[in-house]
Structure 1
Amino acid sequence: MIQTDWHTESEHGALYNLLSDDYTVDKGRSATVAPMQLDGVDLGIDFEIREGGPAIGFSSPSSIIYSDDSVHLAYANTDAQILTYQDTPMLSVVAPLEKNPQMIMWDPETYPDVEDLEDLRDLGVTINIFAGQTYAEIFVAQGVLSADQIDPSYDATPARFIAEQGAIAQQGFASSEPYAYKNVYEEWGKDVAITLLNDNGFPIYSQTIAIKPSMKDEMDACLTELVPIFQQSVVSYHEDPARTNAMIVDINVQYDDGWVYTAGNAEFATAAMAEYGLVGNGPDAIVGNMDTDRIQEMLDAIALAGLEHDESLTPADLVTNEYIDTSIGF
């Protein structure tokens, strides 16, 4: 059983790709359950994927795995792993996404010469984001952004961005908002320009599959078998996403919880993940492994920003490539 961090969506495709066609949506538990399969082969175990976000009161997946012993795996982000290690330590064992999908977007007609966050800084453009974002504090500490241009009042709706008619920038996912603003929000109905947080000095691993470190020995044999399955599922899903995307759309219809996710959303997301390098091999020919230099870069950035954390942490406390099959990649 794995606890995710949001609604069912194509960014989670490598997980849903492992569900057989005989899946069941349990609305009461915000869970989808099915026999696990890979490339048409039944793997002989059941797999349960739980939704996050509003389904868990916007709690973190790590808080769920520590409060519910039936959860074996949970999503993790590098920055949160560092900042919450003392209370809910997590060890990432595989990274289905190579880059974090988070981005900042703006109107290219209003700001045609902007290419990155430093350009937005130089123009003093207001950036509307969720409150409490680690990246904002890090970018201010690094001088990439100015504190006075950050507006932490974003409410996940398009209303403010559209009302400002291109005057402000806003956070989002590279694999989601560009589609929605062009194709769903008719009041906007045009392209936005984006820059990935990853490309501006925030190279976290996002939505890794992680365990409680205390369970590593007990789960060792399982992880030896399971991690290569997750790796191969990343490759298989992105080579042929049609079955899984149709499943993702149907699961959202069955949940009927207000979250709308269409075939267009799913198709855009898989294409965008490839276009922006959100999924793929690392600096080598391997998918799913984690670069410890990136982890150390985040440890150093969090220290520079003066954010409270365990200063004795090393990359080995946060990630392991022990279970990675080095023969699997794109």
Structure 2
Amino acid sequence: MYSNRKVHSNRRSVGAAGAALAMCAAIGLTACSSSEAETAKAESLEPAAEAQNLAGLCPENVVVQLQWQPQSDMGALFEMLGPGYSVDTDDKSVSGTLVAGGKDTGVDLTLRAGGPAIGFQSVSSQMYVDDSITLGLVHGDQVIAAAASQPVVAVTPLLKYSPAILMWDKESHPEWASVADIGKSDASVVVSKEQLFPQWLVAKGLLKQSQLDTSYDGAPSRFVGDPTIAQQGFANSEPYTYEKETPAWDKPVSYDLLKDSGFDIYASNVSVRADKVETLSPCLSKLVPIIQQATADYITAPDTA
């Protein structure tokens, strides 16, 4: 049934360290490395049911541009990545069989890291620069911001609530309990480029323009070196990694969800370029339910991802 299917030449051979990197990526770790290579035998997968057979409807390789370094809020997409995957440490991507409930859908899946991996460019702009990208994860505010020149259409969200936060050291700022409290100080608020929420917080009077510092690169060094700052993050990532996996910090951080200040957007929307919606509609009619089921499966039993 898949005799005409093209398979990445290196997809069925994966380094053991590379496999560890993919697993680390799926749960939001960034301190992994790949140094040794061992061949892993690809597993033979049972074909998915016809309702989940994407061959001939979707691109042979469904490429997804993630909005940041891989972490747990994107877990549903890693749930769809079958065994025998390969990690490209240069391209910051992982490729393998796109599976539905562990069964082969007839096409491949490539997940590409965003954020620092693409120079902090927005996902929507990356989708227009690289025509090979099928889907992108675009937060709701970015969908709106891109509407004029780089329109994308969100087809399903991965999350009900945005986990975006501002975080701080409670020992340095015991008086802070919310974003508004940060704005009452003169502390620097370190965020990454292309973010829209900082200006929204300024417009709402919750932060001051003079506080914004757009040099955040995803690394913990700035926060560790200067615990008087506030910094962006995700509730499902930084609080855990700073306490459990950052030896130079090794303690809890305090944080406030942006949604609790009113910046309540759909986060991690699986999106397509507006000019590709019609072409991809036959694919999306089958793929979107697979993504939604993968989301439920990941939340219920995340071990696979």
TM exceeding 0.5: yes
Q: How do 1:75-94 residues align onto structure 2 when only pairs under 5 Å count?
A: 75-94=137-156
Which structure 2 residues correspond to residues 127-206 of structure 1 after superposition, within 5 A? 127-131=189-193, 133-164=195-226, 166-206=227-267
Shift of 1:169: 1.8
Q: Which residue of 2 aligns with 1:240?
A: 301
**Aligned-partner Cα distance in 2 for 1:57–1:131:** 9
Structure 1 pair 223–58 and aligned structure 2 pair: CA distance change class (3 A): same
> Against the structure 1 CA distance between its residues 137 and 12, is the aligned structure 2 distance closer, same or farther, given a 3 Å change threshold?
same
1:9 paired residue among 71, 75, 83: 71
Q: Which has the higher helix share?
A: 1
- Helix, strand or coil for the counterpart of 2:184? helix
Gapped runs of 5+ residues in structure 1?
245-330
CA distance in 1: counterparts of 2:256 and 2:187, whole angstroms: 14
Greater Cα shift, 199-208 or 2-11: 2-11
- Match in the other structure for 2:275: 214
C-alpha separation in 2, matches of 1:160 and 1:51: 22
Going from structure 1 to structure 2, the CA distance change for 1:155 and 1:17 (only over 3 Å counts) comes to closer
Match status 1:226 vs 2:292: no
Deviation at 1:240, TM superposition (A): 1.0
Give the secondary structure class of the aligned counterpart of 2:294: helix
**Secondary structure of the equivalent of 1:114?**
coil
How much does 1:34 deviate? 2.0
- d(CA) in 1 for partners of 2:108, 2:221: 42
Paired amino acid for 1:183: K
Alpha-carbon separation, structure 1, partners of 2:66 and 2:206? 31
1:229 Cα deviation (Å)?
Answer: 0.8
SS of 2:219 mapped into structure 1: coil
Q: Which moved more, 1:78-87 or 1:53-62?
A: 53-62
1:8 to 1:122, Cα distance in 2 relative to 1, 3 A: closer
Report what 1:307 is aligned to. Answer: none
State the secondary structure of the residue aligned to 1:194: strand
Where 1:243 maps in the other structure, the secondary structure is: coil
Check conservation: 2:116, 2:218, Cα contact below 8 A.
Answer: no
**C-alpha deviation, 1:26, in angstroms:** 3.7
Contact 2:122 2:194 survives alignment (8 Å): no
Q: Is the 8 A contact 2:121 2:194 kept in 1?
A: no
Amino acid at match of 1:68: D
Change in Cα spacing, 1:162 to 1:228, as seen in structure 2 (3 Å) is same
Per-residue CA deviation, residues 93-114 of structure 1 (Å, 9 max, x unaligned), is: 0000222222111122333343
- Taking a change above 3 Å as real, the CA distance of residues 159 and 215 of structure 1, as seen in their structure-2 partners, is closer
Q: What is the distance in 2 between the residues matched to 1:151 and 1:70?
A: 33
Aligned length: 243
Match of 1:70 among 106, 121, 132: 132
Report the Cα distance in structure 1 between the residues aligned to 2:112 and 2:215, rounded to whole angstroms: 28
**In 1: Cα distance, 2:129 partner to 2:146 partner:** 15
Q: 1:6 to 1:125 in 2, by over 3 A?
A: closer
Secondary structure of the 1:120 match is: helix
Partner Cα distance (2:113, 2:121) in 1: 11
Q: Please, which runs of 5 or more residues in structure 2 have no aligned partner?
A: 1-61
Amino acid at match of 1:78: G
- 1:6-57: CA deviation from partner (whole Å, max 9, x where unpaired): 3333222101111111222344544322222222333232222223234334
How far has the Cα of 1:155 moved from its partner?
4.2
Aligned counterparts of 2:75 and 2:231: Cα–Cα separation in 1:
25
Aligned-residue offset at 1:172: 1.6
1:123 deviates by 4.1
Aligned residue number for residue 100 of structure 1? 162
Q: CA deviation at 1:147?
A: 2.4
Query: Are residues 1:21 and 2:78 paired?
Result: no
Q: 2:180 aligns to what SS in structure 1?
A: helix
* Alpha-carbon separation, structure 2, partners of 1:106 and 1:24: 37
Distance 1:238 1:159, change over 3 A: same
Aligned pair in 2 of structure 1 residues 119, 49: CA closer, same or farther (>3 Å)? same
Q: Deviations over 1:247-304 (max 9, x none)?
A: xxxxxxxxxxxxxxxxxxxxxxxxxxxxxxxxxxxxxxxxxxxxxxxxxxxxxxxxxx
Shift of 1:91: 0.5
- Of residues 44-53 and 203-212 in structure 1, the stretch that sits farther from structure 2 once superposed is 44-53
